[in-house]
Amino acid sequence: MIILGIESTCDETGVGIVRDGREILANVVASSASMHQKYGGIVPEVAAREQIRSMIPVISEVLQVSGFRYKDLDAIAVANGPGLVGSLLVGVETANTLALVWDKPLIAVNHLVAHVYANWIGDNSPPKFPLIALIVSGGHTDLIMMTDHNKYRWLGGTLDDAAGEAFDKVARVLGLGYPGGPAVEKIALNFELRTSNFKLKFPRPMINEDNFDFSFSGLKTSVVNLVHSSSFLRQGKQLTVDSKSKIAFEFQNAICDVLVTKTLRAAKKYNVKSIVVGGGVSANTFLKEKMVDDGKKFNFEVFFPPKNLSVDNGAMIAAAAFYFQNTSGKNFPEKPLSVSANPGLYF
Ligand code: KG4
Ligand code: ZN
C-alpha cells in the first residue's frame, strides 16, 4: 500500500510517500525555522503563511522524486493534531481537497503517535510489543505504553515545559539561537569532562518521584538564574564559550538523566520488550547513547529513528497511517472533506 503523508503541525511542511509503512519512496521537508530565528521561537502566523507557500511545491516534489503519479497512491494521510491551528489547517485542508479531487481515501493521524512510528521505517527489525514509548518534542514530553498497534496507555507527561522547549529556552539564554536543541548539543560537545575542574550541577526534577511525570521549568530557571547572576562565567559582559559549553553540557546531562531514568523505570515496571523514542529531541546523540547503554543493562531493545525522521516529517505520518489502517479493522475511515484540525488532540 502506497500512502502520501502530510505533516504541517508546527513550522515544517513535510510530505512523504511510503510503501507498506516501512519503505520511503520520497520524503521532503521545507522548514521556516530560519524565519523564526530573529524572534528566538516560532511565530505561528509566519509559519502558516510559509506552509501555504510551500505545500503544493513540496507535494509536487515528492511525486517527482518517487516517480509516481497521483493515480498510483492508495491513500492520503494527514496529521490533524496536536499543533498550531493555522499550521494544521494548511495540511488538513490540503489533504481534504486532494482526497476529494484525486478520489482517494483519507486517514487522519495523531502527530505524537506518528513520532513513535518513525521507528518502524527502514529495513531493520521493528520494535516489539509491549513497548514503552518516550515522545520528546518541542511541545510534548509523554511516556506511553503500547501493547499492540492502536493500543495505547498514557503513563505520564510533563507538568510544564516540554523537553524540546527547555532546550530551546536554554539555547536562547546562552545566545545560541533557534532551534535550540541542535545548538545546545553542538556546544556541549566542546566540553571535556575529563580535563575540566567541573563543579556545576543542575537539579534533576522529579527523578525520584514514583510516577511517570516530568517537570523541566525549574531546571530551565536554574540555568537562567546561573547565567544572570554569575560574573565568573563571563569575560566583560559576554559569557565565555567555555562557560556556555559547560552549562550546555550539564543541562543536557540533567535533562537526559531524568528522561532515561523515568523511561527505564516504566520499562521495568511494565516488563516490556522494547523502548522506543521519537520526536525532535530524539535526534540528540547524548540522549540516544545514554538510553541505549542503560537499556542494555536490563535487556531492553532501544529504538531511535535516524535524525531526519526524529524531527517532523511527512514519512512518519504515512507510516503511522499504514499501521492504523491495517490494524484498526476500519476500512479507510475518513471521507474526503471530513477531517478537521484538532490542535488539542492527545492520546
Ligand atoms: O518533533 P519536533 O521536530 O517538532 C515538534 O513536534 O515540536 O521537535 C522539535 C524540537 C525543538 O524543540 C528542537 O530544539 C528539538 O526538537 N531538537 C533537539 C535536537 N534536534 C531538535 N533537541 C535536542 N537535541 C537535538 N539534537
Ligand atoms: Zn513533532
pLDDT tens string 67-91: 999 999 999 999 999 999 999 999 9
- Ligand with minimal distance to 283 CA: 1
Q: Classify each residue of 131-156 as buried b or exposed e, where b means 16 or more C-beta atoms within 10 Å of its C-beta.
A: bbbbbbbbbbbbbbbbeebeebeebb
Q: Does ligand 1 have an atom closer than 6 angstroms to the CB of 11?
A: no
Confidence of residue 40 (pLDDT cuts 50, 70, 90): confident
Q: Is the pLDDT of residue 41 over 90?
A: no
* Of 11, 83, 7, the residue nearest 46 (C-alpha): 11
Distance from the alpha carbon of residue 138 to the mean position of ligand 2, in angstroms: 7
Q: Is the pLDDT of residue 196 over 80?
A: no
Report, as an integer, the average pLDDT of 15-28: 98
C-alpha cell at 249: 553540557
Angstrom distance (rounded) from CA 290 to CA 259: 10
Which tens digits make up the pLDDT trace of 233-285? Answer: 787 878 899 999 999 999 999 999 999 999 999 999 999 999 999 999 999 99
pLDDT of residue 329: 72
Q: Provide DSSP, 55-78.
A: HHHHHHHHHHHHT--GGG-SEEEE
Q: Does ligand 1 have an atom closer than 6 angstroms to the CB of 245?
A: no
- Ligand 1 pocket: which of 36, 134, 137 to mutate (most atoms <8 Å of CB)? 137
Residue 134: strand pairing partners: 143, 277
The pair phi, psi for residue 172, each rounded to 5°, is -65, -45
Which tens digits make up the pLDDT trace of 201-229? Answer: 999 999 999 999 999 999 999 999 999 88
**CA nearest ligand 1 atom 13, residue:** 181
User: Taking a C-beta distance cutoff of 8 angstroms, is the pair 269, 263 a contact?
Assistant: no
pLDDT of residue 164: 97
User: What is the number of the ligand 1 atom nearest to the C-alpha of 180?
Assistant: 14
Q: Does ligand 1 have an atom closer than 6 angstroms to the CB of 138?
A: yes
Angstrom distance (rounded) from CA 278 to CA 317: 13
Q: Is the dihedral of CA 54, 116, 128, 299 positive or negative?
A: positive
> Which segments of the chain are extended strands (E)?
2-7, 12-19, 23-31, 75-81, 106-110, 131-136, 141-148, 151-157, 234-235, 238-239, 274-278, 301-303
Angstrom distance (rounded) from CA 90 to CA 341: 9
Which tens digits make up the pLDDT trace of 89-133? Answer: 999 999 999 999 999 999 999 999 999 999 999 999 999 999 999
pLDDT of residue 206: 98
